[in-house]
Each structure stands twice: as structure tokens, then as C-alpha cells.
Structure 1
């Protein structure tokens, strides 16, 4: 395995944090989630790296000011976010399009509640981030999945099945995952154009979860729905994102709801004020603004760590367990690994936890059709990833079925 580049190693040394005994869900929540606390945590999607120094400095300055009363979101926050989107991705966002939340998952619940009625079907594409299904089911709606298809060229949208489903099922809303968690696809402009052509023909409102949009690992550059959706598709578009995955700020409760169409925005405003007042997360906005202004170099280093860990994973499995397959990691920092050539679906949990001593997100959480998959978080210490790879490969090389 190649050595960790010197600049990346220096970044890891300077930013790595031991999060044990800090009330971190990933580490200190093992007992509650998995029933034991001695597993190597490769699951929940956050990192072991300190946030950018500019974020720490901004938060420290705000704390030292010493008052934490009711606050407004300054225009400088809008400017920082809008400039980031333009410079990083070529995406145009207008300030008036923006609304705010305390997290993308909570906003998903709000979107389902707003756009559909109890009993309505909501379209998704499994395997997909399981809170999509939770939001739909918890609110008394019905999950309709047009499953992604695994082809010789990787995971793809099934446009033929999408057309058939929409011809027979009245769908009001779809939740799109872009980039896609867990399969790691960054959807191309052509794919998104075709998708929005179809959804606009059926007058479907698309909620595009783009929380991983900044996490470009390989393959195509990220394309936002805001760059593609036109006409009726744009009139029926909501984009959700946040600085939380990008800069490891999830606990600061700050996310964005972007609605480019004025009429749809007015309907959302009418809905949300009946549901709950929309408060501002003061520390979240302070951290987010600093990150968008000064966090680019930090993010580039984190992505270098992820790319190195991804190569570690590919090389380790190729040598010791070549029949295991890894989805092409284009976006996110989450590797989707199929161990089905070695482990039967009903034995995956016992193998991963009982034999390998790992805590992972299981493929069955994302779709019943990917029950032999595990999702591994690669935004962490390369030594931790190497240990996880060793545990996997030394046991996958032995018969398990």
C-alpha cells in the first residue's frame, strides 16, 4: 500500500481527535445501537477531524463575547454561502431563495408533511439513506421505490421503470439523493436532465438532498439540481443542504432549504409557520459562515484522506477478498461494500460484529435488496481504516457461508 503523502499525514496529525468519552454517538453510542461498546466504529457519517481553524476561532470569539440572546442571520452569512456555491460548483443561489432549518433530516420530515397527505405515495430510489424511508413511514405516507440498478458500469437510475411507475401511480413528491448515499454516485448532468424531464411531465415536486455535494472524491464534478431543473421542474424544486457533512458541524444544527420558485416558496412559508417557528442556530451560523469563507483548504485535505482510505480499501480487498465489490466512490465519504460472495445475508451481522468486531451501517437498512452490503465511513484516521480492512480481509478469506 502506498504511503500516506506527507502533507496529508501532517493534516491528520494536526486535526485528529480521540472522540471517545466525549458523548460522540459514533463512539459512545455503540452500546445503545449495537449492544456492545468494544466495536471499531466505522458507521455514522461524521469524522474524527477538528473543524477548520477559522471555525474554531469564530466560535471562540462569539463565546468570549458572552451573550447568547435572540439573534438574526446576518447578510454576510448569505454572501459566504452564495460565494461558496458559485466558486466551488458554479451554482447560482439568490438570497431570497433561502430558508433555514436545524438539519436536513428534520427538513425531510417537513417536506413530506408539506407536500403530501397521509396515505400518499412518496417516490425514492433504493438503496438510499434510511431516514428517507423513516420520514415517509413515520408520517403515514407510503414508500414507492424505483430501485437503482447495478450494471456493469455501476449503479444507475432505472428510467424505464420510473416511467412505468409514474404512469400507474399518482406521485406528488420525490426525494432525490444527490450525491447518492450509500452507493456514492454523483449524478451527471445528463442523468439529472432526463430525471427532471420525466418528473416535470408528471408535475412532481422533487426534494433534492444535496448534503454531500461538496464531497467530490472521484468521477464527475457535482451538478446541483439548481443547475439543471428548468421550467415546470424548477417551479417544483426544493434543494436541501448544510455545512454539516462538509465541515463536520452536524451538532451545531444549521441547514438550508433552497426554493427558487417564488410561488412554491410562499406555499412553504405558509406551511412552516403553522408547524413551528423557524429559529436561527446562532453557533451554527457563526461556524457555517467561517467555514464557507475559509474552509476550502481544510476540505481539500479531508478529501485527500478519504481518497487515500478508499485506495486502501480497494487494494486490501483486491488482495485478500477479490470477490468483494466496492461501489465506485464518486461522492460522499461512505464506501458501499458487497461481501455477499463470502457471507450469506442472514449471517452478515454476526460476521461483521461477532467475528470482525466492527460497527457499520448495514445494507439492509438502505434496501432489503442489498442485505449483503455494509457501508464504511472513510472520513477518519487512516490507521483506523487499515485496522478495519485487516479485520474484514483476514476473515473474508476464510469460508463463511
Structure 2
């Protein structure tokens, strides 16, 4: 599907619909009159087939207990095989009400209080929360930032594991917020270190369908032909791909039978809820029928990225924008022009934007912002043009 058709069919106003992104600005930012460019959801309706599938359930009128049908497993397994080369088996699959919930479950199930858990920073902030909130020890290994291109400091990563006796690694692939799609070589080296030191790998792959150019997502469980699959736990969902986050349905994949039993034992102690009927219905329809919709979305995101990068760098050549390999989130370093302590004042009070700030993702990323590209071009134009209008014409001294 082409960008123009996608926008005509799916772009929609979300203000006044109990949208967290748009209708909670006063609570989250202290100002309701901002342009929402933050949290990672979109201003696009789901594919028609998803809406129709939900309507059928609504018309039936019964919303009782349900289970995961064989057709759901078939749809998800087919999607993973065709798009990512991962041959998932239904017996490996479990479900949660969201990726973040699953992260908390994994930390509880596979570590003990005070155990060390490592992340690659900057990274999606619930990773750190899942460690701190559960009384584990948070260990961060900083990614190397070379003029906006992020790579892994493998020596530091291994040293942190050894020095802190790390038990669990929460991995983000593709990486949010820096938009990296890790290469086969990077993934193999990273997971080899974990394997060498008996570290369990939890791989958040929720952005796996959103990659660009020659960049290809490689599921952690099939890196090096599945060499590390027995120590990988994968969590993903249709929610980021198809804008279904409010339907609270995520997949967990655990190949290792002993880990599955350990996980099941923990989950049985904290969760006695059946799966979400409408979430299952919507996700299955998306996996079966959403490929063309997804191509339209990808065109919109790339077009938005081109506009943002071209306009911002034309105005401010020393602005550093990280290349977008994956996700629909653009990582921008404002420090050449704005003092880190003044970024919030600049973005919110002057530019009138609600945005994700760099320090949310890691204490060393103050001065950065994350711009959500999964929206109508008019919103990107408004956000970018406002930054350009108010950005100083020369670098700060």
C-alpha cells in the first residue's frame, strides 16, 4: 500500500477519545495544550480486517472466558516464519497482558532479590523500572555513541557481567530509543558473552516488524542458527506493529522446557486471568491480513523521517540525528545548541511539544529527545518546524 492511500484510509483524530497520548497531557506534562509527539502509539486505525473481526465478536454479544484457539497459533507462527525466519512451536508459547508486564514476570521468575540484571543504556525506561521495582540490582552498560551511531561496548558489557555476577540480561532488538537493528555479528558476540557467563537473555522484540532499508531483524533465538535458543526468552506482540496496545495481548516464547516450567510455576502464583478475547481476535486478524497495511505504515514513517532529518539538518548542521534502522522513533541530540538542563524548557515551553526526554532512557542521555514518527505528516511538520523556528542559529558556546 502506498503512503497516500494509507493516510487517506487510516489517519484519524485521537483527541477526546481517552487517549493516553493526547488526553493525559495535563497530568503527564502539566500542560494540555501541547502537540503529542511522545509515547509509542499512533494516529492510525487498525487494518479493516482487524476492525471487522472485533465487530463480529461484539455483534455476538458474549465476552466470557476464552482460550487461545489453534487458528491464533497458526497465524502467529506463520507470521514469524515468513517475516523473520523463526520457526516457533505452539508449545513454546505463553501470553501476557503486555511486554512490560512480561518483563516484570521474567525478573521475578528467573532471579532473586538483589540479583544483578544488566541492560544496554540508553534503553526503554521500563527495563530499568522492572529491575528497581523488584529489588534487584540494576547494572547498565553504556552503548558507544559515535556521532549518533550506537554500537555495543562488548568489553564493558562482559566486565559488568563478571564484576557484578549478573544473572539476567534484558535485551532490546530492534533497540529503542536508538533505532539500531543489530547485525548478525553484533548479536552473536553479545549472546556469546551471555552464554559464556551463564546469563539468561530476555529479548524484547516488540519492534521487530519495523525495520528499514537493508536492515533485517534477527530474532535472538535464531542467532547463529539457534545456538543460544535454550537461554533466550522472547517477548513480542502485534501492538506496536498494528497500534493495538490497548488490547493487552503479548506473546512469550520459551524454547527451553525447564525455563518454561519455572516460568509457569511463577505465573500460576500471580496470574489466574484468562487471555483477552478481543486482543486475541484483533492480533490474529492482524497477523493474517495486516501485511499490506504494514507496508503503508512503513512508507509513512520513512517519509516522516526524511522530512525531519532533511529539515532539521539543513537548519542546524551540527544537530546529531541517529540513523533510523528500526522502530518508528527518532533519536535526536540537541546538545550542540541547547544546554541539557534547558531542553525541557525549550521543547515544552518554547516549542510546545510533549516528547520523551533522553534522561528517561538513561542518565547519560540528558539533552536528547525521542520523536514519535508514527503519526500524520502534518504533526511531524508542526513539531519539526517549531523546533527549527526556535532553535538558536548558532551552536552554544
Verify same fold: TM over 0.5.
yes
> Which position in structure 2 is the counterpart of 1:176?
171
Residue in structure 1 matching 2:182, options 171, 181, 187: 187
**Residues 238-265 of structure 1, C-alpha deviation per residue, up to 9 Å, x if partnerless?**
0000000000000001001100111111
State yes or no: 1:326 paired with 2:317: no
Residue 358 of structure 1 corresponds to 353
**C-alpha deviation, 1:323, in angstroms:** 1.1
| Corresponding residue number in structure 1 for 2:387 | 392
Equivalent position of 2:283 in the other structure:
288
Residues 336 and 395 of structure 2 are in contact (CA less than 8 Å); yes or no, is this contact kept in structure 1? no
Name the residue aligned to 2:299. 304
Distance (whole Å) between structure 2 residues aligned to residue 322 and residue 245 of structure 1: 32
Is 1:47 the counterpart of 2:42 in the alignment? yes
Q: Give the gaps of 5 or more residues in structure 1.
A: 1-5
- 1:10 and 2:5 are equivalent in the alignment: yes
Secondary structure of the corresponding residue to residue 3 of structure 2: helix
What displacement does 1:318 show?
1.5
Give the corresponding residue for 1:241. 236
Distance 1:208 1:256 in 2: 12
Give secondary structure in 2 for the equivalent of 1:198: helix
Q: For residues 186 and 59 of structure 1, what CA distance do their matches in structure 2 show?
A: 33
Classify 1:396/1:301 alpha carbon distance in 2 versus 1 (closer, same or farther; 3 Å).
same
How far does residue 152 in structure 1 lie from its aligned partner after superposition? 5.2
Provide the C-alpha distance between the structure 1 equivalents of 2:99 and 2:378, rounded to a whole number of angstroms. 31
Aligned-residue offset at 1:219: 4.1
Change (3 A) 1:332 1:158: same
Q: Distance in 2 between matches of 1:219 and 1:41?
A: 30
For structure 2, which runs of at least 5 residues remain unmatched after alignment? Answer: none
Return closer, same or farther for 1:317/1:279 CA change in 2, 3 Å cut-off. same
Q: Deviations over 1:28-47 (max 9, x none)?
A: 01001000111111001000
Task: Summarize the alignment of residues 2-401 of structure 1 with structure 2, pairs less than 5 Å apart.
Answer: 7-151=2-146, 154-228=149-223, 233-398=228-393, 401=396
- Rate the CA distance shift 1:270–1:232 in 2: closer, same or farther, 3 A: farther
Give, in angstroms, the shift of residue 220 of structure 1: 1.4
> Conserved in 1, the CA contact under 8 Å of 2:33 and 2:352?
yes
CA 1:330–1:104: 2 relative to 1, 3 Å: same
Contact 1:200 1:233 in 2 (8 A): yes
1:47–1:380 contact (8 Å) kept in structure 2: yes
SS at structure 2 position matched to 1:222: coil
State the Cα RMSD in Å: 1.5
Q: CA deviation at 1:229?
A: 6.1
Residue 67 (structure 1) shift: 0.8
Q: Which moved more, 1:196-205 or 1:269-278?
A: 269-278
Q: 1:250 to 1:268 in 2, by over 3 A?
A: same
Deviations 1:337-358 (A, max 9, x none): 0010000011000000011001
1:206-248 Cα deviation digits (max 9, x unpaired): 0000000001123411111021167773222100000000000
Q: How many residues are aligned here?
A: 396
Offset at residue 161 of structure 1 (A): 0.8
Structure-1 separation of matches of 2:212 and 2:34: 27
Deviations 1:166-199 (A, max 9, x none): 2222111010000000000001111111111110
Q: Post-superposition shift, 1:400? A: 8.4
Decide which moves more: 120-129 or 275-284: 275-284
The question of whether the paired residues in 1 share the 8 Å contact of 2:319 and 2:336 is answered with: yes
Give, in whole Å, the separation in 1 of the partners of 2:351 and 2:4.
27
Matches of 2:375 and 2:34, distance apart in 1: 15
CA distance in 2, matches of 1:315, 1:292: 34
Measure, in 1, the Cα distance between the counterparts of 2:70 and 2:355: 40
Is residue 137–residue 143 contact of structure 1 (8 Å, CA) maintained in 2? yes
The answer (yes or no) to whether the contact 2:11–2:43 under 8 Å persists in 1 is yes
Distance 1:275 1:230, change over 3 A: farther
